Structure formats: structure tokens, C-alpha cells
Amino acid sequence: MFRKFGIVAGIVLVLGIVYFFVSDITRKDVIAANSFSHESATEPLRAGDIVVLGETGAVSKLCDAVLSNPAAPEPRAAVYYNRSSRILQEFVDVGHGLGFFPDRNPVIVHGSIPFLGDSETLDGVSYNYANPDLCECAIVRSLAQGERVCTVNASLIETGEVLVGEGGKLLSRPIHDRTVAVTLRRHVVYMPPETFASCGVEPGEALVTQQRLCDSNPRLPLDVRLRRSWNLIDREPLPGLLVEASAPTQ
């Protein structure tokens, strides 16, 4: 009897853990839902910027891009939610109708994350660099040291925060553009031998490094990748927001 009880308890525990991971949602799920692969560093990164990609997946800026004909940013503002969590919410709604649960906000509910922001991409955009010669020499120095040098293909920019004010009213607080995540072009930046010579840099490990890829390893956690592959994260329009009267935050 105790053995059967232990087996049942073990099954319930495993199912509980599985459901927790399946029904969870984090900001990393917002990144994955928008098809971005690398969380950004603290510094702002825009489409076209040159970055060094570390072995841990961290990116650091090497050169600033100057876009000559930037496209309009694509809106990404929405409430992102977990489908499986919404199924549970339906049961909660029934309980709420019967008076078992307190009032709740009708949109920002358990298993959802509001996000205010845009994305920008290099598709169809011409670009250069503020200091091309300095940038090229910085690139060849990094390549010679065996570092992967990559181009930011798209960036996910957060432009505001959603807050819950008095009476459950939703407020938006503007923030200075905050880079949340980026995608990188597939191949490492290539530099010809003449550039190494003009910068006075020995190629070193560059020949091998330039054969590597910038997107060869998934960098988001396994549970986030699973929820993405199972299409559990969906989005819906943000409700009307009141703009908070305060200076933008960093």
C-alpha cells in the first residue's frame, strides 16, 4: 500500500513539475516569441551594429552602425501569455463567477507579460559605420584573437513599462530605448588579408574563426525553447494605457 502511495505521489510530483515548466512564462519567452535568439548586453544594440559573440552567448558591441535609409520599426507591443495557463484561468473564471475568487484585472492575468516595444531589422537597409577604418581594425584584431565577430541583423527594443496604478488602472511609463534581444547574421564577418595588413595585425586564428557561425548554438533556456517549439506562447493587443507623467527611465 505504501509502495502504491509512493508511486502515485511520485507521478503527481512529476506531473506538477512538468505543468510548472509548460505553463510558465518569462521575459525570455517574449524574446523567443518574437524569434530573437540572444539576450542583449546592458549597452544598446541596433540593427547593423558589429558585436563580439562570446562562448557563453554574451554579446558586446564593437562598432556602431549608421543606417542610411532605416525602415520604420515594427510594433511588438502586446500582452504575451501562455496558452496552457489560460486554460487554467478559465477554471479560475468559473470560480470567480461563483464568488470563490477576488476581483482581478481582466487582461493582465496569471501567466501573462505585457511588453511595450518595437523591432528593427537590416532587411533592405543600407548601412555603414561612423568610423569605418577604426571599425575594420577593431574587427581584425578580434578575429585574430579567435573571437567571433558578428553583425546584428535585428534588435528588439523596449520603449516603455506597464504598471498597475490605483484602482487597477494600467499605466505606461516611457523609458529610453532598451535593447532586450538581438538576432545575428549567420556567418562571422569576413575581412580580406589586405585589411589585416593595413591594420598591422597578424591573421593569427582569423582563418579558423571566420569559418565558424554566429548562430550555431541555442542560447535561450531549454524550457523556453520547448514552449516555443510547442507554440504555447501567444499574444493579444494591450488594453488602453494611461501615460504616467514622469521622466523616462533608463
| Separation CA 6–CA 61 (nearest Å) | 53
For 172-218, the pLDDT digits (tens) are 888 887 899 999 999 999 999 999 999 999 998 898 898 899 876 65
First vs last Cα of the chain: how many Å apart? 60
pLDDT tier for residue 106 given thresholds of 50, 70 and 90: very low
Mean pLDDT of the region 73-100: 74
The answer to whether the CB of 204 falls within 8 A of the CB of 211 is no
CA dihedral 182, 126, 186, 235 (to 10 degrees): 40
CA dihedral 177, 183, 185, 187 (to 10 degrees): 130
| Separation CA 218–CA 47 (nearest Å) | 20
Torsion angles phi and psi, residue 181, rounded to 5? -160, 165
Structural domain boundaries in the chain: 2-243
70 pLDDT more than 80: no
35 pLDDT more than 60: yes
